[in-house]
Structure 1
Amino acid sequence: MKKEVGEWLMAILVSVILIVLIRSFLFVSYSVDGLSMDPTFEDGDRVVANKIVEYFGGYETGDVVVFNSEVGPAYVKRVIGTPGDTVKMEDKQVYVNGEPLEEDYVVNTGDSYMDNFTLSDLGVEGGEIPQDQFLVLGDNRPISRDSRDFGMVDREQIIGEVQLRFWPLNRFGTNFD
């Protein structure tokens, strides 16, 4: 009996250690707060962010990331511009490096604040996104607080790339492009 209890305690201890290691270094779950990423994510959706994707190629245009905010809880937004890119928006069309960005996921209902912008409007000097910074926008542009409000997001602020929605179960998914 003592041996069996010891084995159970050891299994529980190993499980707890694995959970702590996974949450600390590999994956972490977040709850989407608000409608700024609608229709891709709805208020209350639960997602998993991959923390190690940065070490295997980094973040690219179109990736959905979770990042720490300086003004409150973490945000979930889409990467639109990466270091070295030029980005502007004219008449609700985003241009990255002079090419129109195809964005089937974007909600454009009515007029959005700041429909037109350039990087210089967002406080970026030199015309290109600086090293280790990213321009992020919400998919629901008319109501999203994003780089149009708070500027570029530093690489250090990014927690990870959203790779899984696990709640609600009827919206379970893995591809958010």
Structure 2
Amino acid sequence: MKSSHLKVELWDWTKAIFIALVLAWVVKTFIFAPYTVKGESMEPTLHDHERIAVNKITQTEKLKHGDIVIIKGSGKTNYVKRIIGFPGDTVEVDNDKLLINGKQVKEPYLKENMEEAKNSGGLLTGDMGPIVIPEKHYFVMGDNRRMSMDSRNGLGLISQDRLVGRSELVFFPFSSLRSVK
């Protein structure tokens, strides 16, 4: 009697562990995934080695200007950048002022970096554009514009199929737990 009870209990545990692993895989693959920020391109919004949770079910129609996204690179490389331009937008930077479709966009997340650039006597972004974003492509930039490889200087325009998802929150280190905007 003991042996059959042990077999049933062992089988129940095996099923529970298997189901938990499958559910964890489904969630990580299709819904939410952790990513590690590498480098300084998103300073001071995101810091090197912070862990962020990324919503992978965000449809591109729900993204908006200023959202932080994960972009598939080559191999295992991914990039964390901010969406600046959508398909059909005209993007231009003139004297550190971002213009989208001819209208200046406020970028409060750049305040700290702008002050640093002004104190050193230079521009944060430099002049660029105008660039018209083609269909199914996005223009992205890092918040630390002087240190960011992005659509301006290496990544180019990002095709829709390279968008992994939108960053939702920093979850590690725990002392830095916060939503990402």
User: Same fold by TM (over 0.5)?
Assistant: yes
Aligned to 1:16: 21
**In the alignment, is residue 61 of structure 1 matched against residue 65 of structure 2?**
yes
**In the alignment, is residue 31 of structure 1 matched against residue 36 of structure 2?**
yes
Distance 1:72 1:24, change over 3 A: closer
**In the alignment, is residue 79 of structure 1 matched against residue 90 of structure 2?**
no
- SS class of match (1:148): coil
Take 1:141 and 1:15, find their aligned partners in 2: how far apart are those partners?
42
Q: Runs of 5+ in structure 2 lacking a partner?
A: 1-5
Identical aligned residues as a percent: 32
Q: Runs of 5+ in structure 1 lacking a partner?
A: 121-127
Take 2:96 and 2:75, find their aligned partners in 1: how far apart are those partners?
27
Shift of 1:114: 5.6
Q: Summarize deviations over 1:84-113 as a string: whole Å, max 9, x none.
A: 111100111101111111111112232357
Alignment map for 1:67-106 (pairs within 5 Å) = 67-70=71-74, 73-106=77-110
Contact 2:96–2:125, Cα closer than 8 Å, also in 1: no
Query: Aligned residues, how many?
Result: 168
TM-score (norm 1): 0.88
Aligned to 1:118: 129
TM-score (norm 2): 0.87
- SS class of match (2:107): coil
Which of 142, 156, 180 aligns to 1:175? It is 180
Shift of 1:175: 3.5
Cα RMSD over matched residues? 1.7
Structure with the larger helix share = 2
